[in-house]
Amino acid sequence: MSRLIDYILEIFSYLRQYKARTAMTMFGLIWGTMTIIILLAFGAGVKKQMSINMHGIGEGIAIVWPGRTSIPFEGYGRERTIRLNEDDIELIRSEVREINRISPEFSKWGSTIRVDDKINRPNITGIIPEYAWMRNIMPEPGGRWLNDLDIKNKRRVVFIGNRLRDFLFGENADAIGEYVYIDQTPFMVIGVMIEKTQNSSYSSRDRDRAFIPYTVHKSIFGNQYVNNFVYQIDDPTKSKTVQTKVYSILAKKFKFDPADKETLGIWDTNEMEAFIFYFSLGLTIFLGIMGVVTLLVGGIGLANIMYVVVKERTHEIGIRRSLGARKRNIFFQLLLEAFIVIGLGAMIGFILALGIIALISAIPSPELREAVGLPQLNLTVALAATLILCTIGFLAGFFPARRAANLNVIDCLRY
């Protein structure tokens, strides 16, 4: 132990003796460490935010729109409009066992929702209770979501998005129990959505929408056909199987070719989840490579300096060897010197990276956070950076140290 302490003290004495050279060597390591940590932290932040944004619309859901046929089938011509009603939705529910939840969706644009002189024209959506579970819609304390009795009794109740509430009643106002007018019909507000992050949507974001029982939607707007329907599965690996079954069931009923992809439009978020996974993986690898290359430059600089150190201390090495120092002592001391230099550089780089990440996290920009998230310095990033630094430190010190240990004693003394 005392010998190790002596080695360390001697190494620090040597580093202080050559301050400029030590600083130049460490600069590359500091820059490389800081770069790889910041880049990997940004990659982790983007991945997390993309996942949050995607889950805002729902997890494991697919949205299906009826369209028009594009090819003739069994005597029926092309350009036939497919119209679905709630009975078709229930048919799919009963036939496709993999579907966990399903809801029709009736949409109305252009109608007004009014409180006194505050008028808005949101997407007024008619749905059934299980819709909220699929779309991650939760009520603020004191409110509730639509229930089966609302549907059955055609209650004129409405659940509104948080931003629509802010517009109609004021920011964070208590709107529960208040009345709004949809066109000329009064509706009682029974709930307001808890704010959520949602960058993906297929009509408008939930924070701007008004949700009413689909039975009421049909009676006041007169629309007997669904605009689209939403279903949810538990096993993402079965998403293609479920899509095929949905196509087959509706193709059989409405007499269109199951291979006619223009007849039904399907947006399956499970496919987006797979895209996010591979995109995030590719981004992490790309950023990691950039950081590793930057750190390698610092490692090469350290290796070159270590070769210079070996050359400068050749005579000293010869004296030590002649006094009984073993090869492994010479090798260990020089390898330890390389690790100390890279350790100091890594520590300073890590502290600077933490400071930069903290500054970026303190930027008051909700739009930026919602778009790309905040850098995430997690355990994976720290372990990856540590492993890379240890590898580079070992390689940068191993070869010069081995060369020094294998020098001929007589040649060293003559140097």
Helix axes 327-361, 314-322, angle to 10 degrees: 130
Contacts of 262 by beta carbon, 8 Å cutoff, 6+ apart: 67, 68, 69, 70
pLDDT of residue 56: 74
Q: So what's the pLDDT on residue 330?
A: 72
Q: Are 226 and 85 in contact (CB under 8 A)?
A: yes
DSSP output for 257-317:
-TT-TTSEEEEEHHHHHHHHHHHHHHHHHHHHHHHHHHHHHHHHHHHHHHHHHHHHTHHHH
- pLDDT at res. 355: 87
For the record, the structure tokens of 296 come out as 């390698």
- Please give the pLDDT value at position 158: 97
**Measured distance between the N- and C-terminal CA atoms of the chain, rounded to whole angstroms:** 32
**DSSP 8-state secondary structure symbol assigned to residue 176:** T
Query: Which helix (H) or strand (E) covers residue 246, if one does?
Result: helix 239-254
Return the domain boundaries, the chain. 2-55+274-414, 68-98+234-262, 103-229
Contact partners, residue 114, CB within 8 Å, separation at least 6: 120, 168, 180, 181
Per-residue model confidence (pLDDT) at position 146: 97
358 vs 126, 201, 287, 362, CA distance in Å? Answer: 44, 31, 20, 6
Strand partners, 187: 180
Closest CA to 341 of 3, 101, 32: 32
Residue 3 has a pLDDT of 63
β-bridge mates for residue 294, sequence order: none
pLDDT given for residue 246 in this prediction: 94
Task: Give the span between the Cα atoms of 353 and 36, in whole angstroms.
Answer: 9
- For 170, the 3-state DSSP assignment is coil
Tokens, residue 40: 């990997």
Q: In terms of pTM, does the model score above 0.75?
A: no
Name the nearest CA neighbour of 68 among 294, 228, 227, 264: 264
Residue with tokens 């008619």: 126
In tens digits, the chain (415 residues) has pLDDT values of 566 666 666 666 666 776 777 777 778 778 877 887 888 888 878 777 777 777 778 888 999 999 999 898 888 888 899 999 999 999 999 999 999 999 999 999 989 999 999 999 999 999 999 999 999 899 999 999 999 999 999 999 999 999 999 999 999 899 999 999 999 999 999 999 999 877 767 778 899 999 999 999 999 998 889 999 999 998 888 889 999 999 999 999 999 988 888 899 999 888 777 777 787 778 778 877 877 777 777 777 777 777 776 676 667 666 766 767 677 777 777 777 777 877 888 888 888 888 888 887 777 666 666 666 677 776 676 777 777 777 777 777 777 777 767 767 676 666 5
d(CA 48, CA 22) in angstroms, rounded, equals 39
Please give the C-alpha separations between residue 360 and each of 46, 261, 388, in angstroms, as whole numbers.
14, 45, 25
Rounded-to-integer distance, Cα 348 and Cα 30, Å: 6
pLDDT of 138 reads: 94
What's the confidence (pLDDT) of residue 75? 82
Residue 220: predicted pLDDT: 93
Phi, psi (rounded to 5 degrees) for 63: -115, 130
According to DSSP, residue 237 is labeled: G
- The pLDDT of residue 401 is 72
